[in-house]
Amino acid sequence: MPAEFLLDQDSIIRELHYSENLNDRMSVDLIRKSARRPLTKSH
């Protein structure tokens, strides 16, 4: 099953999308929303 992941600066998965088929992709809106989130401080 194909999947896509968005990681933060600490390599923690913040968004996950399991594809129904090979053409099913994470939405651009979700990627943009994730990119606008404030970064957390690294340990």
Q: Could you tell me if 5 and 31 are in contact, meaning their C-beta atoms sit under 8 angstroms apart?
A: no
Domain of residue 17: give its range: 3-36
Q: Could you tell me if 6 and 15 are in contact, meaning their C-beta atoms sit under 8 angstroms apart?
A: yes
Query: Which pTM value belongs to this model?
Result: 0.64
Q: How far is CA 28 from CA 31, 32, 40, in A?
A: 5, 6, 22
Q: Could you tell me if 19 and 25 are in contact, meaning their C-beta atoms sit under 8 angstroms apart?
A: yes
The pLDDT assigned to 41 comes to: 62
Mean pLDDT per 10-residue section of the chain, whose length is 43 residues: 90 93 91 81 57
Which distant-in-sequence residues (6+ apart) come within 8 Å of 19 by Cβ? Answer: 1, 2, 3, 4, 25
Whether 42 maps to a domain, the answer reads no
Q: Specify the number of domains making up the chain.
A: 1
Whether 41 maps to a domain, the answer reads no
